Amino acid sequence: MSIPSRIKFMMAFPETSQPLHEFWMCVADFMRSGDMLPDKLRLSQIAGHPEHMRSERGLSLSPEEVAHVIADRRLDGFHVDTGYTNRSLDFNYTTLTDGSAAHFTHRVEPNTKAPDDWSALIAKLLSRWPSIGAWQYFNPYQAWQWANVKYDSYDSMFGAFPPSYRTFTDLDYDEKTSVGPPRIFIDISKNPGRPRSLRPDIRFSPINFFPTAEMWLGPHFWQYAKCTKEEALASDFFIEKRDTPHYLYLKCWPEAFTRPDGEQGRMQQRLWKLLFHEDCEWPPGSGTICDEPMYGPPELMPAEADQKSKIVT
């Protein structure tokens, strides 16, 4: 797979985290403590108040200068990166156009010096700024389970295409005005690792829930869930629960999920049923969660299953 095999996070907020320059400095301080902070960073501005907007992109600034620009131009978003190389690390904060929600995520290239556990940063930010929630996940698994377009290269990226996957043609495709063939979409609505939009009223909303081995569910999450915080606390399948004034931390699996089947698949199924009263299945069309690993990138197949496939072939 060409997708960086790293642990990533996504955080969602009910509004822009103000003051945003202090939010950024919390991130910078975390990078500094892990010896990840270079002397200069690239800043690309995202939105902001019209009288303070500028056209510059990719400004080379110190961490403190980044904070100054965010504050001076009253930005409600930013993209900061350490350089476009295979050792780069970037952070992206985006506020929805109507200001009703924001999300914060990052990208880590394969050779970047960065942690595989971002829980300290997540807890630090969510303890100060009210949140919808935060999720930490294994990037290749999320990319596979979220892939909803049938590419020519699907098999090389994600392994054999499950034959029972339901597909449909791009409903917005216009033969008279469109260039190229229509896209084939995959129905991932039953995938164990699928996303669920918490703001379906906004098209292409980045404010999503998805089942992960550990979650930080903020006070604004429960307006979207089908269960209460008390019901989640009473559930008996979590291996760790921590209720704080700022978020409910839930951990149900020792490591980030890498499979939609077996015990991992059934654990994700429990999360769907508890939090949203929805179900999942693997493989597609089966109506259940299979016991043996089926389909997916070779990198995500358990070692014993990989050995069995080699023996069969």
Q: Per-residue pLDDT tens for 85-131?
A: 667 899 999 998 888 899 999 988 888 888 889 999 999 999 999 99
Q: What is the pLDDT of residue 228?
A: 97
60-66 contact pairs (CB < 8 A, 24+): 63/24, 63/25, 63/28, 63/31, 63/32, 63/37, 64/25, 66/24, 66/28, 66/41
Q: What is the pLDDT of residue 309?
A: 39
Mean pLDDT, rounded, of the chain: 89
Asked whether the whole model's pTM tops 0.75, one would answer yes
Region 209-234: mean pLDDT is 97
Please choose, from the candidates 130, 97, 275, 104, the residue with its C-alpha nearest in 3D space to the C-alpha of residue 202.
97
Q: What is the pLDDT of residue 173?
A: 64
Report which of residues 45 and 239 the model is more confident about.
239
